[in-house]
Structure 1
Amino acid sequence: MSGTHESNGPHTTGDSAPRAPVPSTWHPRPETAGDVPAVRRIDLAAFETAGEADLVDALRRDPAAWLPGLSYVAEAPDGTPAAHALLTGCHVGTVPAVTLAPCAALPALSLDGALPPRGTVRYAAAFGIA
């Protein structure tokens, strides 16, 4: 998931009101220890409660769930982390699996522009997967 993603252009809210300009280039990369506070800020801004941010903190401490290198941030062009995606280990019954959650972006930089200021934020394009 490393590399650069080019935006598809301007985005608006569902009522056609303009949002903050979406960066034209995103830089996804694995999270570093220095990103932990920024990831928490992103998750707190993107969701209505601290539940997701607290979950990420708890998963970081759980060696059975945490998969090193699979917590990603996407940097805005200025290098500021603006989006976050986390893959963690889990089990479906007795079968090992991986889950993707949470996925978040700063609401002002919501990539599809059709979401409310708070809540689940679609940002897959920031990670080059949409």
Structure 2
Amino acid sequence: MSRTWNTRAETGADIPVVRDIVTAAFPTPEEAALVDALRADPGAWIEGLSLVAVDDSDRPVGHALLTRCHIGDRPALCLAPVAVRPERQRGGAGTAAVRA
């Protein structure tokens, strides 16, 4: 069932929860390691563009990440990964995080 989700930028307190979301959403931990690596890369990371969809208790259940990249010599933004806790998938949390 789809619902309206609140979204916000990730905070420092969200980092372990975001890691749990990404780990739960994908079959391997590689995507969670990618998020950690991008967070540590000042050339890729853009403060405020790691976005979460939160439940009514402000606990993140979905995550979308935009980082800097290049396509050829042109600067661009990369959207990846997008992850939602498995029990919350297909409810609009991922879409809300991406749209935020």
Given the two structures, how large is their TM-score scaled by the length of structure 2? 0.90
Listed as ranges, the gaps of 5+ residues in structure 2 are: none
Percent of aligned positions that are identical: 49
Listed as ranges, the gaps of 5+ residues in structure 1 are: 1-9, 11-21, 114-121
The residue that corresponds to 1:98 in the other structure is: 77
CA drift at 1:112: 5.1
Return structure 1 stretches of 4+ with deviation > 3 angstroms: none
Is this contact kept in 2: 1:86–1:100, CA < 8 A? yes
Corresponding pairs, count = 99
Alignment equivalent of 1:51, drawn from 30, 48, 57: 30
Structure whose alpha-carbon radius of gyration is higher: 1
**Which structure exhibits the higher relative contact order, with contacts defined as CA atoms closer than 8 Å and separated by 6 or more residues?**
2
Cα RMSD after superposing both structures: 1.8
SS at match of 1:99: strand
Q: What does the per-residue CA deviation read over 1:16-54, in whole Å, with 9 as the maximum and x for residues that have no partner?
A: xxxxxx6x3311100011100000000000000001100
Note the 1:1-130 alignment, pairs <5 A: 10=1, 24-111=3-90, 123-124=94-95, 126-127=96-97, 129=99
Given the two structures, how large is their TM-score scaled by the length of structure 1? 0.71
Letter in 1 for 2:22: D
Q: 1:79 to 1:112 in 2, by over 3 A?
A: closer
Question: Counterparts of 1:127 and 1:56 in 2: how far apart (Å)?
Answer: 15
